[in-house]
Structure 1
Amino acid sequence: MRLSLALLLACLAPALAATASTDRSRRLTQIINGYPAASPDGRQVVFQSNRTGRYELYVMNVDGTGVRQLTDLAGDNVTPDWSPDGRRIVFAATRDNASDVFIVDVDGKNLKRLTHSPGDDEHPHWTADGTRIVFDSARTTPDPSAAWETQWHEVFSMRPDGTDAKAHTQHRALCTYASLSPDGRRLVYRKAVPGPAFRWDLSPSERNSEIVVADADGSNEINVSRNAAFDGWPRWSPDGRRIVFASNRAGPAGVGQIYVVDADGSNLRQVSKGPWSHAQPAWAADGKRVYAYQVQEDEQGEFGNVVEWVVEP
């Protein structure tokens, strides 16, 4: 396992947290650096951070140096993904009390809003050929004012200019964080299905968050996570053979780890370890590393950093 500079710095935090628990101190900063995505050339990572008081996008070198702010916009700007040609970043942003999809050049220029639907449009990801952007949308839900987790979130895709939006699923369910396989034939997404399960904090839930692989039209679903725990944030490997995701199946409450599974649901193995929680994984272009959000959560909130993990063959 090779640790990035961001991870080395983050490793100092457990000692500080332990001290805080014994000296009655109160944590005043809750800095969150999450949702990393690697550039196609493997040299940089884009991520979201709340260090300014709201979520903005930042870019840094893969060793943690050279951090620069990419966006400076009203509302929260989150879940970035790098275009295959390395020139643009797609992301979701809160505008007018809803989430929409935006695109911007890597130098922060040419910002464009791509969606304007009444429901939330979230979690955008590029297709491998760069011709479309996949995202989940609540635009077909019967009651947009209902609680987010009870709305219908279907998988859509559109061209990078925001035109030709088309639905890939019609499940009338919560289907989020979707992406198309490199060959464009299959989808992977997180789906909330009925049944006894556990939330991230291991409290009981009547809906189970699973990782599903399906054809590009949402048919022929295969549950590849198959666990009562919370499974989420799936991403295809660059070769289309594996899926990385996060799960809290190993516990304890509020702690998840990164897993890799073959696209048919076989050969599950754990990637990350340790007392810290890990979520929001994304592959490096070489398929040998993943970047993730390493986080600690307690009664005072959460804080965490971007880390790099090597994935064993």
Structure 2
Amino acid sequence: MQKQALPLLAMACLCPLLAIAQAPSRAAAACRSDTARQISVTGTGLGRSFQNPCFSPNGRVLAFTNFATRYNTGKSVVRTVPAEGGAVLAALSPTSAQSVNLPGQCWSAATDEVAYSSDVVDRDEIYLAPAAGGASRRVTRRPGFLAWEPSISPVLSEGKRWIVFESHSQANPEAGGELWKIRSDGTEPAVRLTQSHNDRQPEWSPKGDKIVFQREVGPESWDVFTLDVATGAVFNVTRAGELFNTDASWSPSGNYIVYSSGDADVEIANVFVIPANGGNRIRVTRSCGLDGAPGWSPDGSTIAFESAPFDPDAQGSTTLWTIDAPAGVR
């Protein structure tokens, strides 16, 4: 894989953005044994790593996080691009901060806004931005705490929308995460949903009755759980923490969950689908590198994800890809 990338990397002095985009892509294609397709992202001033794809309600556009330096490193901007690929449509967050959207469900159909977290002030808070671009609106104001990974609910029965997010102590951000929710207009105090665990990456179900998230169940062990919003009951969906089950989001029917996970023949992580009530999982992608942060299209036909033909935590960056959802699974 690296040998295939070297000729293009050698062109960096002539065309750096082209080399950054193409070199990992050719290696990634050689690394794959599935039908996934890369999403081309073009434009000026782009960062190096494309992450966290999140479909618009009509499925025509993706929001994503664009890290400047490499995977999860440097300043980052939440941008939009046509779902089939092409030129960036808009930058939704400031270019002077580290701003990150959640893959899967970050886009409100009710108001056409995208939720993201940003450290544009002295700590990470939650913001809502018009999907077409324009001024963002700050939702959370929580001195001493960090707010990450926001997902916005559909309009619920009481006529309200809520944002669920991952909360950490500002003094000790590496400590366990908690799940909190807040009204999307920020008019009521935030409410804690979980505690005494390390819970991360929450996402509302399409009906707004459940939240899917990942919980640390042991050293280097993570499972995908759901939380019943009305009762507070939690359910372990994956029950195999040693496989490092993370990055969960819903199918449009709410009957399935897509997530990233390992296996005996998966060195880093690939994308899998599992019934929301547990059961046998289905492997969706087949890559020798990382496939993660998956999000389902609103019509159920396609799953978008980030990918690299290596471990991007150790080197390099990711690009955006799509693959057909498993037959009969929506």
Coarse TM-score class (shorter-chain normalised): 0.7 to 0.9
Q: Which residue is 1:113 aligned to?
A: 138
Deviations 1:59-85 (A, max 9, x none): 111121121341333221112521114
Deviations 1:34-66 (A, max 9, x none): 001011111111111124762112211112112
Alignment-mate amino acid for residue 68 of structure 1: L
Instruction: Give the TM-score normalised by structure 1.
Output: 0.80
Q: Paired residue for 1:34?
A: 51
Alignment partner, residue 20 of structure 1: none
Partner Cα separation in structure 2 for residue 191 and residue 101 of structure 1: 21
Answering whether residue 178 of structure 2 is matched by residue 132 of structure 1, we say no
Report what 2:276 is aligned to: 263
Written as runs of structure 1 = structure 2, the 5 A alignment for 1:156-305 is 156-167=180-191, 169-193=193-217, 195=218, 206-216=219-229, 219-227=232-240, 228-253=242-267, 255-295=268-308, 296-297=310-311, 301-305=315-319
**Aligned residue type for 1:233:** D
Aligned counterpart, 1:22 = none
Q: Distance in 1 between matches of 2:292 and 2:228?
A: 25
Separation of aligned partners in 1, 2:196 and 2:48: 36
CA distance in 2, matches of 1:247, 1:32: 21
The count of aligned residue pairs is 278
Q: Give, in angstroms, the shift of residue 250 of structure 1.
A: 4.1
Residue of structure 1 equivalent to 2:88: 67
Distance, in Å, in 2 between the alignment partners of 1:161 and 1:86 is 12
State the shift of 1:8 in Å.
Answer: 9.3
Rounded to whole Å, the distance in 2 between the matches of 1:135 and 1:298 is 25
* Aligned residue type for 2:261: S
Aligned to 1:198: none
Q: Give 2:8's aligned residue.
A: none
Identity of aligned residues (%): 20
Q: What SS does the corresponding residue of 2:257 show, helix, strand or coil?
A: strand
Return the alpha-carbon distance in structure 2 between the equivalents of residues 47 and 90 of structure 1.
11
Deviation string, structure 1 residues 273-293 (Cα, Å, up to 9, x no partner): 122311111111011211101
8 A contact 1:187–1:213 mirrored in 2 = yes
**Correspondence for 2:37:** none
Measure the CA separation in 1 of the matches of 2:319 and 2:313.
Answer: 19
Letter of the aligned partner of 1:289 in structure 2?
T
Q: 2:148 aligns with which of 114, 122, 125?
A: 122
Check the 8 A contact 2:77/2:98 in 1, yes or no.
yes
What whole-Å deviation, never above 9, does each CA across 1:90-141 have from its counterpart, x for those lacking one?
A: 1011245532111111232131111121211111111133822111212xx5
Counterpart selection for 1:103 from 128, 131, 150: 128
Q: Which amino acid aligns with 1:41?
A: N
Deviations 1:238-288 (A, max 9, x none): 1111111111234554x2111111111113111111223111111110112
1:76 to 98, 103, 108: 98
Paired residue type of 1:98: R
CA RMSD of aligned residues (A): 2.8
Q: Aligned partner of 1:274: which letter?
A: S
